[in-house]
Structure 1
């Protein structure tokens, strides 16, 4: 990285738009699969490259970035006009776009808001695989990413985005991965796949194409796989590079009946032994790049003129046959190792501008007191960045094939722990990255997934993919052995989703807690643990059906000490850190996927609010604390087009960092708390946001029903048959909560009922030491909104249950009637035979609520099982259960079909 102008770089990009709560400020990394474009001019040194779903204009003299956003998918291709003014960026995937930018204005006006000049939505069904701009910048040609492949030519400068030509290639033509215009004739294009070259020509406002044949037998030599194809100005011939070091020269062989120029392979020139990976032109030179890092220049007769060896940093000044002067401008090259180099043409100087990661990035950590960011990748490379100056302070490459999976700084910033996929944990000096003496441990055969230090720096805990937690203890007074292994405990039987240290309120000693996919919360007894004997203090099953996804300590904004846990049902739950009782269930952020990691920002606003940063599968967001279920107190935006693998927050809460895994990119986001607070008021005050979460809102049928049920519950509490005067109240007894919830179509389990009742019952106990015995209407609405399923119960859920418990017969999964009754009584929450009979009596319509089959006056019997045998078939399918027992209006299969059609 060029560091000569680091002092001019600031942590904030002056061109960034700060109107959002989160604003992308910097991109660490590069997409090595997309060629880098040299945008340099006389007064600016700029390169253009792609990272994840963002284009980057990087000024390597001033060390500043212009970030070109607007895509939801990974960028698939970039092209630039001949004058380097217009930049077109396209992506590939669902809802694809092509965005065209005026690079000249962005580089001149540093305060520009970076609004694109043109955007094409859904240009092709699955996005764009390749595209190019004509020499005069007037036309844009795009190739679709799906077969049969489609070629479109756009007059993008016209007001109505005129689509000039659309051409569908035959299905037997392989996907064309590269395309370019002829420099001196906009009516001619060339494209190629690995095995086929296609020539295109406009004739009488019609786009035609020719597919010349070329096999190994034609010239009695191996052709190889095609790399890229180009035209040269004022030359009829076209050139294609191959994987065996050949250049195929194409020439005209006449025209067909339609007037389409036909091409043929004139000759194959073997220019080198190794594969050519890139082909382009500079002036009248044909330029190749190969797998060995050589850049070679040829004239139109395919004679070698000059060569650059990037690996040896060699650049001969004069390699021409006649000894003539070789003159070309400085140029940029990018490598398969995610490096960008600047080549000075008048000497032998090769300057490395960017060293990115060529493998996935999963490990991130920030320094506790300084602006430092640690990045670890699957290439076994650990980097320490100063994220204010964007300068690498230190890096270390470990022996392969070890892959870095997690990183953690200690609270003082003196040490850094690094966990690897082979089970090794290293404790290093945070400045030099050198291993501490006797501080390389391998007590696991599986990948280290989590690592964290205690607040007093005395303990380091790790979790691995073998569902085990290991603890290491500090003994810094012993310089020869500053860290020792304390013990290992396999406390979970499924993957560990969270590992963290806390502080005991009464003793200030560290507490260690882990949460697993097995729904078990484990606390470890560090005081009673000894070498090779890590003790557990408690194990609690804290979820009934939901799967925990992440956990953190709730900040001290309440008198009660809480653990904050997120699950896969889009709920956030507060648990008393001592009793492990669920004290509150709240609707969490609902941005397509559950929370995968969350962290409290060390930042407050003048109102005293605290904030929670989080990531989902593909988004990063912020949540205002305290959490109450109001969706307007949270925001999120697309972080990476694939999967967000990790998140880290700066020590001052000003920045959030996210890694994109396979996209080899880390994004730096600037937090804007004022914008987040302002957005809250747009959703309304007090109960308005919760009314809006109900179907129909405050004036809808659901609210009216809930209001009626609320007053019916008052009548039921006072007695239905009483003749005494009714007492009008604004509250109902807590024991009426389950009846109201079920009347609204929400059927909580007994455990969920206990959680709801306890949430209200203990809500004021810390302040008053008294239990709450009643609930008002507004609190009941919040309770209903926060506890009900975030997206309802999908009809397909019933089919999933029958697939698990049943046997396939004639394309349907069925359960034996007796087995179904047995499962209902023996699995899950306990239910007696009489309670089961009561439920079926109500569902089948033979008794009132609270009655059973035995008490049905019009269907007298003392054998409920016999009645069920008469009413239910011997083998019960999901449709039968839905229609006959639950009373669904349509079958499960029909519902799934409708849902699939709606989603499509």
Structure 2
């Protein structure tokens, strides 16, 4: 439905601002748009029925963005308010305790406004592409969207005109732009706009004159600008604050940065500006003109001592809010009418009044406040970093930025002084209880794990004691996890670090002040693990699920720590940051397990078991500015996400049926995996894969064999590495071992036998899951040369030939001299005759071992001639690897700073 049609229908039905529909009108327009037929009661029906069509649906928003204003939409029969949280707008009905959530933005909401009659809502986000969405507040339906309004910086403020026909947006660019849009017409360009001089400071507030829509004002902390439309253009002038006069005609000098909000007077041609000094500046606009600078002699009215932080006009009254949470009403002569100073509020950010009629109002409109939960202030500690309840709900553990750990009574929030521990000055980042509530473990910024144990004595009540702190990692710890041994009830504790090590602690043999390590395994080569969780018992083995920054998920045998399966994880922008297995449903028809996870800014669901099928995963944006953590409800029906800086917690309702339906639409068996191959099932790449697969059978039987060929649908595992390389995926030796172990032990727990061969379908799954999700970028090559190389006389990073050859033999998976020689012979296209010619035609037979002899001091006759002493990035990628120059690809002409 077009915005023009919306405006036309709205004007006809409302008869102007604030009009009401009649029953005859509703009947006449049967079958018309939902926006036209909507009333104030449409958004919150008495009987609500939900049909969930998405795997995750935003069900409730806890908290709000404190930097943005809140607006009253209704307060007659129902109290309805509007506010923003994260990337959504929230219409909250206090009367029915229900929410309608305005979803549509991908970035955090930066500003919003409402029309004078509260029928229309405009919201804007910030990010690479700023978007403005206009909503019908009666139905909650978006009626118009403006894309890329201020692409260079987003939108910092906006407002509707009095007749709601126009919308003004104020950009946050380096050179700010003010745009006026006729949103009721299908247009993607503003009807008026102007750019502001940066000398005026960052303007962050703008409104229309309610008496004249051709006039506007904007303000910053130090400057007020007045706008007018004249001769088809938008012009502005500055209101100079240098010489201001009080009522006593005394000159008043205002401190820089003292302005807060400004409003137009409801009758006089004046602008009122609130200041941090508790006064009001009155600007007289009778003789104003739209010049570049306008010096107006006006007056300052001192109202109060506290700084004024909010200013608005309602019913011929001037209303102010200040830093002490006090709200005051003044008449036109600035005489105090009434005030509210016992609200126990923080500084007032905004004030909003309903525009409904006053007939039939309740005598008492105050809200009944329900008593909070018990609270406690920690005055001696620095910033709470993490909290957790124990599984039985008896204790609440709190980790502080000071390194302290307090174990509180979950009912009273009080603690025994002996159970307030401070064994490190490093900030606590992770804290968790064991499943039996007998152990508590923390991980801190010092890369160490600390363990506490609940000690029980017959003669005294249980108390927590310190067992020890172990610096088990040399890089930050990413996760901390308790578990139970598969064949016993003995508690286990594992930590995972960015050093790629998985450490298990020996809790059974540890004692007070004696924390022991059971094992420490390196589980990754280049990927950095981000989180871990216990995989459900879908087989007879117990696995540990570990996600990494390379968008992979791996299953490790919980005892041997052997990698038993590798699959592609969700690829929704950023890697998985944390995972949880949902509690299994009690419904008999639901048999599957499900995994929930968060990335940098998204929350998602995954169907188990993991197999790499992309259609079994679903995710959506939850906190555009970053999600810090999440949790699921005890019944697995809801997921809760907490934002980092947006001050909100979001509740997401899970629909397993919608998730399963989406997976079913992706196809069965191997169909979803064909989509991951270039060209799909009918493409050239798949045909080449088939050819290589069956060639491996011939190669295994011997290419020179004259015997009758044994045709089979399977190839031995020994051929898998060669087949992977033929498809341009070059796995490391560790990756080859992981692939072979994955197939070899795939059925061992059930049959007790190894699998020694693989068919084409199994190979396709193995290939798409093990190959890198993203290829190496030119920036990564540039970064590698910056780290490993030295600067030449032009400032470019270069590697010495001898240094490169030594690195290949000493770093990563070590290569032998023979392997180095063979690789360079192949890459450079050298054969034995060319080697002899380049060596000066010397006689005698040479072996591959003689190609490279740098350490022994003998001549490197082939590599000396083929590779220069200094290897630049262009030489390495172009001459040796045969790729286009990475420096040219990345557009770089100079080394990084």
Give the TM-score normalised by structure 1: 0.86
Match of 2:118 among 84, 90, 102: 84
Deviation at 1:249?
1.0
Change in Cα spacing, 1:529 to 1:339, as seen in structure 2 (3 Å) is: farther
The residue number in structure 1 matching 2:217 is: 190
The residue number in structure 2 matching 1:303 is: 335
Q: Between Structure 1 and Structure 2, how many residues are aligned?
A: 820
Change in Cα spacing, 1:63 to 1:830, as seen in structure 2 (3 Å) is: same
Match of 1:36 among 56, 59, 70: 70
In structure 1, runs of 5+ residues without a counterpart are 1-9, 107-113, 314-332, 355-390, 900-904
Change in Cα spacing, 1:613 to 1:13, as seen in structure 2 (3 Å) is: farther
Check if 1:576 corresponds to 2:557: yes
User: Structure 2 matches for 1:143-292, cutoff 5 A?
Assistant: 143-160=170-187, 163-215=190-242, 219-224=251-256, 225-252=258-285, 254=287, 256=289, 264-292=296-324
User: Structure 2 matches for 1:377-456, cutoff 5 A?
Assistant: 393-399=373-379, 402-436=382-416, 438-456=418-436
Check if 1:128 corresponds to 2:122: no
User: Structure 2 matches for 1:832-851, cutoff 5 A?
Assistant: 832-847=816-831
Change in Cα spacing, 1:397 to 1:27, as seen in structure 2 (3 Å) is: farther
Partner of 2:508, secondary structure, is strand
Check if 1:643 corresponds to 2:626: yes
Distance 1:800 1:339 in 2: 52
The residue number in structure 2 matching 1:547 is: 528
User: Structure 2 matches for 1:662-673, cutoff 5 A?
Assistant: 662-673=645-656
Change in Cα spacing, 1:757 to 1:162, as seen in structure 2 (3 Å) is: closer
The residue number in structure 1 matching 2:20 is: none
Partner of 2:142, secondary structure, is coil
Match of 1:632 among 615, 621, 633: 615
Kindly indicate whether the alpha-carbon contact (under 8 Å) linking 1:334 and 1:341 is maintained by their aligned counterparts in 2: no
Distance 2:787 2:729 in 1: 24
Check if 1:500 corresponds to 2:481: yes
Partner of 2:775, secondary structure, is coil
Partner of 1:574, secondary structure, is strand
Deviation at 1:300?
2.7
Distance 2:772 2:636 in 1: 32
Check if 1:740 corresponds to 2:772: no
The residue number in structure 1 matching 2:469 is: 488
Deviation at 1:84?
1.4
The residue number in structure 2 matching 1:110 is: none
Deviation at 1:726?
1.6
Kindly indicate whether the alpha-carbon contact (under 8 Å) linking 1:298 and 1:304 is maintained by their aligned counterparts in 2: yes
Kindly indicate whether the alpha-carbon contact (under 8 Å) linking 1:201 and 1:261 is maintained by their aligned counterparts in 2: no
Partner of 2:725, secondary structure, is helix
* Comparing 75-84 and 166-175, the one that deviates more: 166-175
* Comparing 429-438 and 636-645, the one that deviates more: 429-438
Match of 1:798 among 781, 785, 789: 781
The residue number in structure 1 matching 2:41 is: none
The residue number in structure 2 matching 1:874 is: 869
Partner of 2:104, secondary structure, is coil
Check if 1:812 corresponds to 2:796: yes
The residue number in structure 2 matching 1:519 is: 500
* Comparing 474-483 and 143-152, the one that deviates more: 474-483
The residue number in structure 1 matching 2:714 is: 731
The residue number in structure 2 matching 1:461 is: 441
In structure 2, runs of 5+ residues without a counterpart are 1-43, 246-250, 853-859
The residue number in structure 2 matching 1:51 is: 85
Distance 2:658 2:505 in 1: 41
RMSD: 2.9
Residue by residue over 1:315-340, the C-alpha shift from the partner in whole angstroms, topping out at 9 and shown as x without a partner, is: xxxxxxxxxxxxxxxxxx87469999
Kindly indicate whether the alpha-carbon contact (under 8 Å) linking 2:310 and 2:350 is maintained by their aligned counterparts in 1: no
Change in Cα spacing, 1:186 to 1:617, as seen in structure 2 (3 Å) is: same
Change in Cα spacing, 1:123 to 1:251, as seen in structure 2 (3 Å) is: same
Distance 2:639 2:523 in 1: 30
Check if 1:891 corresponds to 2:874: no
* Comparing 867-876 and 57-66, the one that deviates more: 57-66
* Comparing 570-579 and 186-195, the one that deviates more: 186-195
Deviation at 1:260?
11
Distance 2:243 2:534 in 1: 66
Distance 2:693 2:513 in 1: 58
Distance 1:143 1:627 in 2: 48
Check if 1:74 corresponds to 2:100: no
Distance 1:135 1:21 in 2: 41
Kindly indicate whether the alpha-carbon contact (under 8 Å) linking 2:64 and 2:648 is maintained by their aligned counterparts in 1: yes
Deviation at 1:14?
4.0
Check if 1:470 corresponds to 2:450: yes
User: Structure 2 matches for 1:760-775, cutoff 5 A?
Assistant: 760-775=743-758
Deviation at 1:168?
1.9
Change in Cα spacing, 1:238 to 1:338, as seen in structure 2 (3 Å) is: closer
The residue number in structure 1 matching 2:3 is: none
Kindly indicate whether the alpha-carbon contact (under 8 Å) linking 1:847 and 1:856 is maintained by their aligned counterparts in 2: no
Change in Cα spacing, 1:881 to 1:160, as seen in structure 2 (3 Å) is: closer
Check if 1:93 corresponds to 2:127: yes
Give the TM-score normalised by structure 2: 0.87
Kindly indicate whether the alpha-carbon contact (under 8 Å) linking 1:423 and 1:443 is maintained by their aligned counterparts in 2: yes
Kindly indicate whether the alpha-carbon contact (under 8 Å) linking 2:381 and 2:404 is maintained by their aligned counterparts in 1: no
Distance 1:756 1:834 in 2: 25
Change in Cα spacing, 1:734 to 1:341, as seen in structure 2 (3 Å) is: farther
